[in-house]
């Protein structure tokens, strides 16, 4: 299983990548929204962890573009953010995010649990 982390924060990316790889998932990293869009469409991604605030375009805009793309629309996306503004959370869920995780409130093991839940649910829906 391959997970794409789209986040420009090196510290968060390193922590998540290390923890998730211990669970035997393959990790692909993108530091910008545009790079994330490209990798999501070409790298056989099974799940995306998407930061809300990126240096080029917003996480919600990346989410919208992915959900409108034939190759990427069925990839489950979990938004990661330091921002808990209700309008951002609602917009992300409305656009198709499966979950919205606040970085400052979550441990890597919690993220791994969410990843496993989402991938299992996605597998069941496709069968």
Query: Could you give the CA distance from residue 114 to residue 108 in angstroms, rounded to a whole number?
Result: 10
CATH number of the domain located at residue range(s) 2-55+69-119 in this protein: 3.40.50.2300
Spatial neighbors of 21 by CB under 8 A, at least 6 apart, are 27
The full set of domain ranges for the chain reads 2-55+69-119
pLDDT tens digits along 2-51: 999 999 999 999 999 999 999 999 999 999 999 999 999 886 899 999 99
Crossing angle for the helix pair 86-94 and 59-67, nearest 10 degrees? 10
Neighbouring C-beta atoms of residue 94, cutoff 10 Å: 11
| This model's pTM is above 0.85 | yes
What per-residue confidence (pLDDT) applies to 84? 66
Task: Check residue 127 and give its pLDDT.
Answer: 67
């Amino acid at each position: 299983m391959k997970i794409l982390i789209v986040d420009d924060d090196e510290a968060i990316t390193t922590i998540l990548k290390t923890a998730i790889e211990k669970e035997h998932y393959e990790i692909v990293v993108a530091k910008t929204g545009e790079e994330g869009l490209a990798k999501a469409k070409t790298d056989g991604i099974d799940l995306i962890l998407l930061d809300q605030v990126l240096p080029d375009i917003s996480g919600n805009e990346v989410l919208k573009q992915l959900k409108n793309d034939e190759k990427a629309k069925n990839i489950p996306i979990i938004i990661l953010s330091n921002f808990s503004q209700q309008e951002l959370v609602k917009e992300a869920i409305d656009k198709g995010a499966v979950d919205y995780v606040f970085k400052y409130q979550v441990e890597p093991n919690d993220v791994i649990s969410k990843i496993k839940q989402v991938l299992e649910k996605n597998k069941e829906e496709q069968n």
